Amino acid sequence: MPYIFIDSDACPVKDEVYRVASRYGLRVFVVSNRMIMVPDGPLIERIVVDAGPDVADDWIAERVADRDIVITADIPLAARCVEKGAYVLEPKGRILDSDAIGMALAMRNLMTDLRSAGIMTSGGSAFGKAERSRFLSALDTLVVKAQKPRPRPLTHPRT
């Protein structure tokens, strides 16, 4: 059974994750560097890590495994998790898989370079009902996908 990890600082879809996880009976780890409220329940575990850069990310990346689901907007964390075979979903509903993560990293690095050069860049778009709906749909799809065994590559008999 896959686990769900939430990189919870500033995550706007925690309640949605709790509902979906409850429906499928999945364990959820809510990881942050400060105390936050989480619902009581045997499947939801609050993890409070030390303050500092990437401490929560490191906790998640060290524990995530193949077919687990990670909810994060942090692109470097997403890359680390995809490398381990996890499914990664941004709060706005974009799935970051091995095909998408390279472009996401390149765009993040470009925007960082532009900001450090003093070029003003716009922030992300607003988070609304459409993004929440897209997230829920994508999360449901990933949960179903994560519960199925990955197909083995075909092998051909030697001739």
Three-state SS string across the chain, please?
A: CCCEEEECCCCCCHHHHHHHHHHHCCCEEEEECCCCCCCCCCCEEEEECCCCCCHHHHHHHHHCCCCCEEECCCHHHHHHHHHCCCEEECCCCCEECCCCHHHHHHHHHHHHHHHHCCCCCCCCCCCCHHHHHHHHHHHHHHHHHHHCCCCCCCCCCCC
Q: Are 104 and 96 in contact (CB under 8 A)?
A: yes
Output the six-digit token pair for 64. Answer: 């995530």
Which one of 3.40.50, 1.10.150, 1.25.10, 3.30.420 gives the CATH number of domain 4-147? Answer: 3.40.50
At 49 the pLDDT is 96
Tell me, what's the pLDDT at 80?
A: 93
What pLDDT is attached to residue 26? 97
The model carries a pTM of 0.82
Contact, 69 vs 105, CB < 8 A?
Answer: no
Residue 5 has which token pair?
Answer: 């990890």
Residue 97: the pLDDT is 82
List the chain domain ranges. 4-147
**pLDDT digit of tens for each residue in the chain (159 aa)?**
899 999 997 799 999 999 999 999 999 999 999 999 999 999 999 999 999 889 999 999 999 999 999 999 898 999 999 999 999 999 989 898 877 666 656 565 555 655 677 676 666 667 789 999 999 999 999 999 999 877 766 665 655
